[in-house]
Structure 1
Amino acid sequence: MLRLYQSNRLEILSLRLSTLLAEPMISPLEEEVLVVQHPGMARWLSLEIAEKLGICANIRFPMPASFVWEVFRAFLPDVSEFNRFEPSLLRWRIFQLLDEIGQEPVFAPVSHYLRKESEKRRFQLADRLAGLFDRYLVYRPDWIRKWDKGESAVAGDEWQAEIWRRLAVDDAVHWVHLQESLFQAMSGDAANPPRGLPARLFLFGVPTLSPGYLEIIRQLSHWMDIHLFLLNPCEAHWLEIMPEGEKVRRELMSSDIEDLYLEVGNPLLASLGRQGRDFFSAINDFDPGSEEWFDDAGGDGCLAGLQREILHLEQPETIEGERDHSVAFHRCHSPMREIEVLYDQLLAMFEEMPDLTPADILVMTPDIDTYAPLIEARFSEPGDCPAIPYRISDRTQGLENPYVTAFLDLLSVPASRYGVDEVLRLLEFPAIQQRFGLDEAGLERIVDWIEQAVIRWGRDAESKLEFDLPADPRNTWRFGLEQLVLGYAMSPNDEALWQGIPLPESAEGSESVWLSGLLGFCRFLFELEDRLSGMVSVAIWCDRLQRMLDRFFAADENAEQPLQLVRDTLVRLGEEAEEAGFQGQVSLSLIRQQLELLFSHGSSRGFLGGGVNFCAFTPMRSLPFKVICLIGMNDGAFPREPPTLDFDLMAKQFRFGDRSRRADDRYLFLETLISARERLYISYVGRSLKDNSALPPSVLVEELRDYMASQVGESGLDRMTFTHPLQPFSPNYFQPEGHLFSYSSRMQEAAQLVGRGEKQRQPLVAAPLPKMEPVTDSVDLHLLRRFYSAGPARAFAAQRLNLRLETARDIPDARETFEMEKFTAEAVERELVERLLSGESAESFYQLLDLRGELPHGKPGRRHYQQLCGSAQLMVERLNAGAFGEEMPPLDVDLILDGLRLSGRLNGLRSTGLLEYSAGKIYPHQRLDLWIRFLALNLIRPEGVAWEAIWLSPDEEGRFIAPENPETHLQQLVAFYRQGLLTPLHFYAGTSWSYAEKWRATEDRPAALYQARKRWFNDPPAHGSKPHHRLLMPGEEMLDEAFHEISLAVFLPLMDHMELVE
């Protein structure tokens, strides 16, 4: 018996289903079978059944295809457990067949796919053909029968028919043959059903089934009771209605008088309901017994009116009244703004509807992968707004599981250049760090070592041959790692070169654990190229990749579940190839492609798990919720239009009952309209970020808006349409009489500032911090100098906030040196001067730099170095001329300044005093550093050393004149230092120098500020762009009254005691 149950509400259907389930079967242990088309529907039904019956147990929820295969196996015992014509298996069979096909004339239309070197293209063709053949089996069985007989079914089918026939020769047990055998077996005695069939069957909420599936269900109804529960949007007979446009075309093209009486009925139902109309027509052909429970939506709002008009097949009626909140359209400038607006709108709904809970809300989007991170960003950080619990489902597994990303990245490395960025990105993954005994601190140190060893790309010298480059070891991983190992093993006093290998700074003490971890990781990584090369079977690939997981990922409780997903996917890939009988050999590239495909499937985990439900807007998600929100309903995003294939024979000959993605989406939209109980919320990107121009929504949203306009008029439609500003802190959100609103007090404060034309921000450190513990009365001279030379903001961030932004891990450049940057060249030239002064030759230093890979390769590097040698030699000659005396050992400093002890060591001493030289220009922070040491020297006044300070550069020579009160100046600098450890000091040497220099010359504050702004904002490198400045004193915050006072207090005394030597 086949029984049809219809309603416009799933809750009513689920209640009737529960009533039937409560009727006991002969055996209390008999399993119930409830066929659904989506795991989300199964989850919802299980909750509904449990609520109504107290428990949901011993119920299985198969999908239609898997259940039909169970029917085949029950009636036909010889049928295997799996269907070798399932697309996931069929594609492997077709791929193997394509590999065996020669240059036969019949395959000329796809000859470009069949070339031996086109492995990827051949599999793409195989995958698409598998999908097409699966549809042909279900929707075009007559074609399959003709192909099996060697006949042509449709024009242009020759090459597809030939591929099919070769597949059928290998295995003729496919859907069409099985269906014929099944119907023959079903003609037997229904009183003796075969084992494996359930006593009764329920199909729930299935929006469509192919004609072949329907016929099997009809035949099966002679053997058991089948209960078919369908969501029907309309209680009237609506199977002959059609959209207005189609009606007009039919009337214009037909002379049949009957066509003059074609009906539209309800415009939305006629436009959106084609798929359901065809399905109900097919069901009615079986003349099943039917029970109907249609429920008229209560209320007088727009949503209730729309649902009522669809239910009764009525034209839209005019609705009078004030603003109606049941249907709302929200135009935004970006997906992020959609989520921000949604958050505020949900908070408003909770206020307006006291019985509304987060679990009563469903939010769907056609593009869940784009919106998921935006949802997490807003909903996981509510700020000053109430928190809203939420769950996200249907995300692509590869995006949801970071282990998948790391695993796929590992598979990409053997085919890469081994760029330092690619390798370090892998090492940033915590499970890989843990596997090799590393942590964040160790990784920071490894980045330093890589810079020291100048590693850029390439496994070793030989690997460069693959890129048509000489086998040069410089900048490669193996050469760099050898340097690090030797640097660790050799004494710090050893030569810079050992047997032609440079010795960079390497691990010391306990850091050897990190070096060992780096070496172990790189060894495994380099071995991958051999392990993952060549062409082998899918089974061998899966085994190798399972072993790779063990080698690279630490196995702990946090990694167990996400790693198991990767392992299960590998097992699944191997089983697919095995069950398909695929014995060919493939490359890693193809394996990675298939894994990406398997990982791209969404997971329903978390659906209906509590909180607001975010999920993909996909068919079979027509579940009832008090509030349904559709976000991302942009033009072109929905309904989806999958690309058509030139060789899709079905697309050229459409038949009644054929499914299309576009028709599925249109019917899904209709089901959503009737499933929202109290609110329907729709948002889309309706304004351009570039010029604020209007952007259209999805065509389905436009149809709905047109329908609503016929209900409430254009003015009413305007009242239910909200166009949101670009920014969440727009003053429009906080107008007393406005219809826009926000729950964020922070955004309100920002809006008030915008309204007053002010641009302010709450400083990160609003008040001075307490003194550092332990409180001490001593100051280290080295820290004092570093405070001013590196920048007070950097020192404050590091010492008080534990933020070392200057060492934030910037991935080193993955390219070898082609041209030296200015500051790098100056550092190299200074080191060259020091080596020349110590007696080392310029050529030996060149060899060291060349081996390190710090110079451009070849002749360009030699020319650049010769230029550096010229200016460095001039500096050495000036230093050796004798005018600056001989070098002196460092001098201990121990001074008491206003009750504080200043201690440390003075370096850079000569008999003539302090000497600071630079291969480039003398920068302000270098002058200030020399000034600090000069003041300390004048307070110590040692014997045998002149109490002077001299600076020297290629373009300038100068000295400081001894001040009368060095203690006062040094005390001031120490005071600013201590102040700068309590609150960010508005001082930076380069910017403050520009300000003080202009002020000293003109006493014109606007002119001085102009110079400071140039250095802070514009002149490269802009000082204000440094990360610690952006964090602690962004924009104009730095250039205030405190900046004016501190800059002058620091630099005016220094400038007053400067003297240039002609």
Structure 2
Amino acid sequence: MALLTHVASHPDALVSLLCDQLAVPPDDLFLTEIVAVPTRGIERWITQRIASDLAARGVGDGIAANIEFLSPRRLVRRVLLEVPALAASVDAWEGPVLTGHLVDAIDAHLDEPWMRILARFLESPYGTGDLIGPDRLSAARKISRLFATYARRRPAMIRAWAAGENVGSDGTALADDDVWQPNLWRIIHERIGIPSLAELLPGALDPIRTGAIDPDMPGRIAVYGLTATDPLDLEVLQALSEQRDVHLYVLHPSPGLWNLTAESLAAQPHPSRPPDRDHATDVATHPLLKSWARDSSELQLVLAGHGITGSHVGAQDAAAGTVLARLQDDIRRNVEPHFASSLIEAVENGDDRSIQIHVCHGARRQAEVLRDAILHTLAADPTLEPRDVVIMTPDLATFAPLLEAAFPSDQVASSDGIPDLRLRIADRSPSATNPLVRFAATVLDIADSRLEAGAVRELVTRPVVQERFGFDADMAGEIISVIDDTRIAWGVDQTDRQRWNAGTNDERTWRRGLDRGLTGVFYPDSATRIVGDTVPLDGVEGQDAAPVGLLAQIMDRIEAVRALLGGQMAMSKWSAVIATSVRLLAAPAWGDEWQWDQLERLLEETFTTGEPDAVAEAVPEPDISLPEARLAIASWVEDRPSPLHFRTGNVTVCTLAPMRSVPYRVVALLGLDDDRFPRSSRADGDDLLIGHEIVGDHDRDAQDRQLLLDAVMAAGDQLIVTYSGRDELTNAEYPPAVPIAELEDTLRDTIGASALEKVVTVHPLQSFSADNFTSAALGIPGPWGFDPMQLEGALAMEGRAPDAGSAPAEWPVYDESEPIPLGALVGFLQHPARRFIRTRLGFSIPALGEVPDDTLPVDIDALAKWSITNRILTGLTEGYELDAVAARERATDALPPGDLGSGVLEVASETAAVLWAAAVVRGYDPRRHRGLTGSVTVGGSVVEGSVTADPTEGLLALVTPSRLRGKQRLKAFAELLFLSLLDPETSWKALLLGKRERGDGLLAVTIGPVGDSPAARRREANLALTDLADLYNEGMQAPLPMPCETCYAWQRALGKGRAGAFNAARSKWETDRFNPEAADDAYRLLFPELMSTDKLVDAGLADYSARLWGPILPLMGETQI
């Protein structure tokens, strides 16, 4: 029996060696073969290869069965558990058991002087370590991982700690700030009462070596794809090999480097002692082996340090007829890259696309470019299938949704004609694939929060919540409207506010808001009604009560969840409590009940405390808080690969590790940006191994480089690399990641700088760029893009006028025979560009939405003040008393809490009262107003509509707390003309009451009447309305540069001369502090060339101002109130 090492540079050769072993029948046919593999993706591939390889040899029928696949760590653990003393140590010194002891010890000794470093972190509200807040559990888990790492990688240090010495990994005395670790370890050692593995090994493995204990394992064991190992693992495997054959299958990229390293080690005076880390790559010649192969090189040194050697099988001979093959051959032979002139012609002609590097603008474009690159590859080779392609990325969370959007599939109908290219994303986190798992974290966040209104707004949009309570997305929008209308900010009630040191004020709490909503169900709308101290919410009676009822039900469940999750409880109880909380608020869609099983399994794994019977003493079960429970489930966002998702026949998408070294004909490396790869790793200041690393220690940067090297060596036909080389917004150039720059340097040495330009393709920002559809523009003989819709966009861009923002010279003819709605005419006069876009182009430019503010305001903005004043004014016009309306306004929580809102309410009440008094004095009586409907013919147009006015007094009135600008005057004038034609017997006039355009004063504006007699009114109104209708028709035929406020300012100031009119217009068009009309999106879209006042004047501003405002100003009078 022996420990046998097999080394190969290509996975096919290595798995062939494994099949040589499995092809020989074992002594006991009923024993299950054991093969240890590093990842689930490699497990899937090996299963398929074993089945096909053995069938080709005539062994079996093409089915790989009776093989148990374990990870190397699980294999070692299984062996340790066979020895009673080691089994007790494993159970006591790993995982939840050790964590439980640590939490208990931390609580008991936190006040001792030697614990000051840990105490400073745990007691700080802004912890400076990896964690934030009171997080004993997370700190204990971190310390548990450190102790386990020390035991595996530095057993001598642990043995010294057990002897009472405070030394570090290098054997020297620890600094005072680090002494807490050995002190805490000795306390745990005393509590557990069982020696650690570092103390027991290697002697405790003697029963395995001698055969006194015979593990229930076959006579031969295979460990495939070994890339790194702990000294402890090697000790166990060596002990196991005394009584059975243990085969180590090592994948090493370079036979040349392996052999050279072996010769170097043999020449050392102490070959069993691992050399310095720098020796790992010093003997390498190829630059990529020097930079990328540290992990595989150090593995050879670690094996040699344990007396384990092996011969390198080498790679199968292959003609280096492509750039990729030449690169791989140079790496295998460990030679400097040499200039290969024979490859240049094929690269420059586009015949050799074996290595492609694509430089893109951001992650989205990378996904689109990679899609097209793979489609080109499939189109060029009929023998290539999607199953022959793998996409690897260091940032799956970012790229997975982008890939799903970019790659059409047969599950989502593609109306744009992109060829079907199915993806299977292999290793996504549970929270990414299971809505209930994701929702569990949301539940804990809400339970530990102030219960802001925004959290509940987001909650009701979740499909799992809608499924539980039986409503749809439309109803969710109505529920959100109820939250907004009741002005809920945060906090359940007064008591909840006190928890957050926010006093006893209950304004804008959930209890007060729900009371408003539920009370509103039973009362009709009223401007003054207050029930107790509650103002019923308007508009929720009858069938409109459903959103209020659902919101009340949801909030009742949330309060129950907060009660369940509040306070500390035993760690093992959190699993059931969280599951119950999720069930109260969420349910999966029909047919997705499996989501419950996965959630409950994750909860058990996260909050289990181990098996107390397996250790000498009962395991202390820590009480943990809600913040600690939140941190405990943070690992649910980590990727967890499943073997069922690899090599399914689709294009496989995964991170770099699961499919490392698995051969694919096409290997695509996505997202190798400078800020993503290699992955950054912050040095852990608590890790005593940092700064004292030895050969074989984990190095995240070296691991990523080794993964990249494995991927390059596994590519059969093509290697495709994408990275972000340009900023999406500024087009600033980004450097490639250092490993990609090293790859480019190596290729430059192989094929020269000119040919390298054919390998590296810089893509345009937009997928509808003309370059995507121009033959040979992006490194291939034909066009690059496959998307017909983007082609249409490119053609449209090519056919557009040179000035991309200008309107066409002629618009389609507008049908002037259609009646003109009065509302449309008014809208046009107030904003001709916006009306043109809506009427002729068929869309509207949306206004920017506001992010709801869930804080308690100490002041409110101008719009909120206007709303309060307007509601009070509306109450006065409906006949209610000022005090009653103001009291209701106070009770609706529209004002800042307490005395902070008194001043606002006083000013709003005074403004509304003055406006109302001025309106009454001027004959305004809303009880006499009627809706007057009809149509009039002016010129060749018919204007039809309805106006609310007082026919008794002939008064058209607007009473508003708004500032009276040009748009209100235009509306009043157009309606006045309409009424004067509809009923010329009445001497119609318009009255506008509101704030001055500037300053704090109030203003009364009168317009009309348009004539002294019915005939004069009919004649003048017809002329004026005809001109406005003509303007409308002209403005519908082509957009008019006739901004309302700018034209008003020009015409009013024209009496001061043209210079005065220009300055007045400029103040409205360009320099207005709050809302310059030139900044309006509609004008920017239609008139991008008129953003300066000079250009606007040249476009006819004076003529438009005269036509629009010339007839109004003589009829208008203004009086200060």
Q: In the alignment, is the contact (CA less than 8 A) between 2:830 and 2:967 conserved in 1?
A: yes
Q: In the alignment, is the contact (CA less than 8 A) between 2:868 and 2:894 conserved in 1?
A: no
Q: Residue 319 of structure 1: which of 327, 331, 340 is its match?
A: 340
Q: In the alignment, is the contact (CA less than 8 A) between 1:243 and 1:270 conserved in 2?
A: no
* Residues 1:600 and 2:608 aligned together: no
* Residues 1:266 and 2:286 aligned together: yes
Instruction: Measure the CA separation in 2 of the matches of 1:429 and 1:713.
Output: 55
Match for residue 485 of structure 2?
452
Deviations 1:130-152 (A, max 9, x none): 22222222222233333334445
What residue identity is the alignment partner of 2:43? A
What residue identity is the alignment partner of 1:185? P
What residue identity is the alignment partner of 1:431? V
Deviations 1:599-640 (A, max 9, x none): 334445744344333322237622212222323333464334
* Residues 1:748 and 2:802 aligned together: no
Q: Residue 300 of structure 1: which of 312, 321, 326 is its match?
A: 321
Deviation at 1:540, TM superposition (A): 2.4
Instruction: Measure the CA separation in 1 of the matches of 2:44 and 2:749.
Output: 38
What residue identity is the alignment partner of 2:329? R
Q: Residue 709 of structure 1: which of 738, 744, 748 is its match?
A: 748
**Which region of structure 1 is more displaced relative to structure 2, 797-806 or 352-361?**
797-806
* Residues 1:175 and 2:197 aligned together: yes
Match for residue 919 of structure 1?
961
Deviation at 1:885, TM superposition (A): 6.9
What residue identity is the alignment partner of 1:539? S
Q: Residue 61 of structure 1: which of 65, 69, 74 is its match?
A: 69
Instruction: Measure the CA separation in 2 of the matches of 1:387 and 1:788.
Output: 51
Q: Aligned in 2, Cα 1:288/1:466: closer, same or farther, shift over 3 Å?
A: closer
Match for residue 1013 of structure 2?
none
When the two structures are aligned, how many residues end up with a matched partner? Answer: 1032
What residue identity is the alignment partner of 1:627? V
SS in 1 for 2:521: helix
What residue identity is the alignment partner of 1:600? E
Q: Residue 460 of structure 2: which of 420, 424, 427 is its match?
A: 427
Residue pairs, 1:237-636, within 5 angstroms: 238=258, 240-241=260-261, 263-283=283-303, 292=313, 294-320=315-341, 321-322=344-345, 323=347, 324-379=352-407, 385-492=418-525, 495-557=528-590, 560-576=593-609, 581-604=619-642, 606-618=645-657, 621-635=660-674
Deviation at 1:121, TM superposition (A): 5.0
Q: Aligned in 2, Cα 1:522/1:103: closer, same or farther, shift over 3 Å?
A: closer
Match for residue 186 of structure 2?
165
**Which region of structure 1 is more displaced relative to structure 2, 300-309 or 124-133?**
124-133
Q: In the alignment, is the contact (CA less than 8 A) between 1:999 and 1:1008 conserved in 2?
A: no
* Residues 1:906 and 2:934 aligned together: no
Deviations 1:104-162 (A, max 9, x none): 45545544246598874544442332222222222222333333344455321753333
What residue identity is the alignment partner of 1:168? H
Instruction: Measure the CA separation in 2 of the matches of 1:1010 and 1:347.
Output: 60
Deviation at 1:552, TM superposition (A): 0.5
Q: Percent identity?
A: 23
Match for residue 140 of structure 1?
154
Q: In the alignment, is the contact (CA less than 8 A) between 2:155 and 2:199 conserved in 1?
A: no
Q: In the alignment, is the contact (CA less than 8 A) between 2:523 and 2:541 conserved in 1?
A: no
Instruction: Measure the CA separation in 1 of the matches of 2:926 and 2:83.
Output: 104
Q: Aligned in 2, Cα 1:852/1:1043: closer, same or farther, shift over 3 Å?
A: farther
* Residues 1:1059 and 2:1116 aligned together: yes
SS in 1 for 2:538: coil
Instruction: Measure the CA separation in 2 of the matches of 1:493 and 1:140.
Output: 77
**Which region of structure 1 is more displaced relative to structure 2, 903-912 or 390-399?**
903-912
* Residues 1:881 and 2:930 aligned together: no
What residue identity is the alignment partner of 1:822? A
Q: TM-score, normalised by structure 2?
A: 0.80
Deviation at 1:589, TM superposition (A): 0.2
Q: TM-score, normalised by structure 1?
A: 0.84
Q: Aligned in 2, Cα 1:1052/1:270: closer, same or farther, shift over 3 Å?
A: closer
* Residues 1:722 and 2:761 aligned together: yes
SS in 2 for 1:217: helix
Instruction: Measure the CA separation in 2 of the matches of 1:265 and 1:98.
Output: 51
Q: Residue 143 of structure 2: which of 106, 117, 129 is its match?
A: 129
Deviations 1:503-523 (A, max 9, x none): 331413222222110011112
Match for residue 274 of structure 2?
none
Q: Aligned in 2, Cα 1:906/1:469: closer, same or farther, shift over 3 Å?
A: same
* Residues 1:38 and 2:39 aligned together: yes
Q: Aligned in 2, Cα 1:892/1:670: closer, same or farther, shift over 3 Å?
A: closer
Instruction: Measure the CA separation in 2 of the matches of 1:496 and 1:794.
Output: 40
Q: Aligned in 2, Cα 1:1046/1:557: closer, same or farther, shift over 3 Å?
A: farther
**Which region of structure 1 is more displaced relative to structure 2, 103-112 or 961-970?**
961-970
Instruction: Measure the CA separation in 1 of the matches of 2:543 and 2:332.
Output: 76
SS in 1 for 2:7: strand
Q: Aligned in 2, Cα 1:750/1:296: closer, same or farther, shift over 3 Å?
A: farther
Deviation at 1:843, TM superposition (A): 3.1
Q: Aligned in 2, Cα 1:368/1:978: closer, same or farther, shift over 3 Å?
A: farther
What residue identity is the alignment partner of 2:551? L
Q: In the alignment, is the contact (CA less than 8 A) between 1:793 and 1:1032 conserved in 2?
A: no
Match for residue 221 of structure 1?
241
Instruction: Measure the CA separation in 2 of the matches of 1:612 and 1:1034.
Output: 48
Deviations 1:65-109 (A, max 9, x none): 112222233454993697443345533432332222254455455
* Residues 1:696 and 2:728 aligned together: no
What residue identity is the alignment partner of 2:375? L
**Which region of structure 1 is more displaced relative to structure 2, 227-236 or 574-583?**
574-583
Q: In the alignment, is the contact (CA less than 8 A) between 1:120 and 1:590 conserved in 2?
A: yes
What residue identity is the alignment partner of 1:49? I
Q: Aligned in 2, Cα 1:886/1:408: closer, same or farther, shift over 3 Å?
A: closer
Residue pairs, 1:643-662, within 5 angstroms: 643-662=682-701
Q: In the alignment, is the contact (CA less than 8 A) between 1:619 and 1:668 conserved in 2?
A: no
What is the CA RMSD across the aligned residues, in angstroms? 4.9
Deviation at 1:726, TM superposition (A): 4.7
What residue identity is the alignment partner of 1:951? L
Deviation at 1:482, TM superposition (A): 1.0
What residue identity is the alignment partner of 2:684? L
Match for residue 952 of structure 1?
993
Q: Aligned in 2, Cα 1:609/1:1008: closer, same or farther, shift over 3 Å?
A: farther
Instruction: Measure the CA separation in 1 of the matches of 2:814 and 2:94.
Output: 68
Instruction: Measure the CA separation in 2 of the matches of 1:539 and 1:865.
Output: 54
SS in 1 for 2:12: helix
Deviation at 1:287, TM superposition (A): 5.8
Deviations 1:737-765 (A, max 9, x none): 644564142463366369945347999xx
**Which region of structure 1 is more displaced relative to structure 2, 29-38 or 276-285?**
276-285
Q: In the alignment, is the contact (CA less than 8 A) between 1:242 and 1:270 conserved in 2?
A: no
Q: In the alignment, is the contact (CA less than 8 A) between 2:665 and 2:715 conserved in 1?
A: yes
Instruction: Measure the CA separation in 1 of the matches of 2:12 and 2:609.
Output: 39
**Which region of structure 1 is more displaced relative to structure 2, 213-222 or 1017-1026?**
1017-1026
Specify every segment of 5 or more residues in structure 2 that has no aligned partner in the other structure, as ranges.
56-61, 128-132, 268-278, 409-413, 613-617, 995-1001, 1011-1016
Deviation at 1:976, TM superposition (A): 11
Q: Aligned in 2, Cα 1:724/1:494: closer, same or farther, shift over 3 Å?
A: closer
Q: Aligned in 2, Cα 1:240/1:151: closer, same or farther, shift over 3 Å?
A: farther
Match for residue 999 of structure 2?
none
Deviation at 1:327, TM superposition (A): 2.7
Deviation at 1:477, TM superposition (A): 1.9
What residue identity is the alignment partner of 2:158? I
Q: Aligned in 2, Cα 1:410/1:853: closer, same or farther, shift over 3 Å?
A: same
Q: Aligned in 2, Cα 1:887/1:113: closer, same or farther, shift over 3 Å?
A: closer
Deviation at 1:36, TM superposition (A): 0.6
Instruction: Measure the CA separation in 2 of the matches of 1:133 and 1:158.
Output: 14
Match for residue 642 of structure 1?
681
Deviation at 1:1058, TM superposition (A): 4.4
Deviations 1:1010-1062 (A, max 9, x none): 969966998744679889x6999796899999999999999579748943367
Q: In the alignment, is the contact (CA less than 8 A) between 2:437 and 2:599 conserved in 1?
A: yes
* Residues 1:235 and 2:235 aligned together: no
